Structure 1
Amino acid sequence: MRPTTLCFPVDTRGCLLLGKKKRGFGVSKWNGFGGKIEIGETFRQCAIRELDEETGIVALVDDLEAVGILDFRFSANPNLDHISYIYFIRNYKGIPKETEEMKPCWFPVQTIPYDEMWKGDRVWLPLLLNGHKIVGTICFEPDNETVQSIDINKVPVIEEKKCKYV
């Protein structure tokens, strides 16, 4: 199981920046920004690097707010299993730009395109947007789309691993 990150920029109006995936795993879905942690990186460093690579936004690791840890399980493709640290970021520099991988767009919370996102997102993302921190597991059916089960727990704080990926 590979460690990954997801990062959601939030602007001063409370809008959420999502990216439409243009290639690879999750193509055509709206999602946060992130990806696989590289050897020698911390989760926070990964989140900042991926945010820059996918949007051109520059931020500092200390400005990340850890809001969740989700374990994504794919019953027919265990090689797709990944655990993801989820962050919000409100302090950053730059204007999001389209990259080879993602097309960014700001969404007011009321218009988040859940029908064009991963099926479980409509369950856990509103919890984060309402100020909760979460830890949980989402299991997908063999089609890699349908949610088989979701187990989400609200927690007072996200315990981040301080180690680097090796």
Structure 2
Amino acid sequence: MRPTTLCFPVNAQGQILLGRKKRGFGVSKWNGFGGKIERGETFRACAVRELYEECHLIADEAALQLVAYLDFRFPADSAYNHIGYVYFLHDWKGTVTASDEMEPCWFSASSLPYDEMWKADGIWIPMILSGRIISGTIVFGDDNDSIAHTDFSDTPGLLEQTVPDTF
């Protein structure tokens, strides 16, 4: 299970920054900013690095607000299986800029493009936007896109674990 992160910047107007993936797995889908942890990184360090690489925002690890722990399972291709922590970010420096991987755009919480996102996003993102802190499992179908099963629970005392030694 590969450790990953996702970060959703939220501006003072309550808009959420998403990026449309330009290449790789999930191409053309809108998503938060994040990716795979590099050896020696913490989850928070990964979130900060990926945010900068994908949209050029500079964040402090302490400013990340932990909102979810998710276990993504792809039975049709286990190479895509990953776990990850999800963060909101309300304070950063820099100007949102496109990268070779992501095209960023601000959306109001009521107009997120769920029909152009991962199908499970329409289930769990509204949960965290409502203030819930959750843990959950998302099992995808044989097409690596449809949802076979989800299971979410409220986890108000959620704490980050250390990065596994092997991944």
Gaps of 5+ in 1: none
Q: Which runs of 4+ in 1 moved over 6 A?
A: none
Deviation of the 1:165 alpha carbon: 5.2
- % identical equivalent positions: 53
Per the normalisation by structure 1, the TM-score is 0.97
Instruction: Give the partner amino acid of 1:27.
Output: V
Instruction: Give the partner amino acid of 1:23.
Output: R
The aligned counterpart of 2:107 is 107
Q: Equivalent residue of 1:44, what SS?
A: helix
Instruction: Give the partner amino acid of 1:22.
Output: K
The aligned counterpart of 1:52 is 52
Could you tell me whether the CA contact under 8 Å between 1:98 and 1:104 is conserved in 2?
yes
The aligned counterpart of 1:78 is 78
CA distance in 1, matches of 2:153, 2:79: 25
Instruction: Give the partner amino acid of 1:127.
Output: M
The count of aligned residue pairs is: 166
CA distance in 2, matches of 1:70, 1:164: 15
- 1:77-116: CA deviations, max 9, x gaps? 0010000100000010111111000000000011100000
The aligned counterpart of 2:14 is 14
C-alpha RMSD of matched pairs (Å): 1.0
Could you tell me whether the CA contact under 8 Å between 2:3 and 2:163 is conserved in 1?
no
Q: Equivalent residue of 2:124, what SS?
A: helix
Could you tell me whether the CA contact under 8 Å between 1:6 and 1:47 is conserved in 2?
yes
- For 1:61-76, what aligned pairs fall within 5 Å after superposition? 61-76=61-76
Deviation of the 1:157 alpha carbon: 2.3
Deviation of the 1:155 alpha carbon: 1.3
Per the normalisation by structure 2, the TM-score is 0.97
Q: Equivalent residue of 1:104, what SS?
A: strand
Gaps of 5+ in 2: none
CA distance in 1, matches of 2:38, 2:31: 20
Instruction: Give the partner amino acid of 1:145.
Output: D
Deviation of the 1:138 alpha carbon: 0.2
Could you tell me whether the CA contact under 8 Å between 2:14 and 2:108 is conserved in 1?
yes
The aligned counterpart of 2:142 is 142
CA distance in 2, matches of 1:163, 1:35: 14
The aligned counterpart of 1:42 is 42
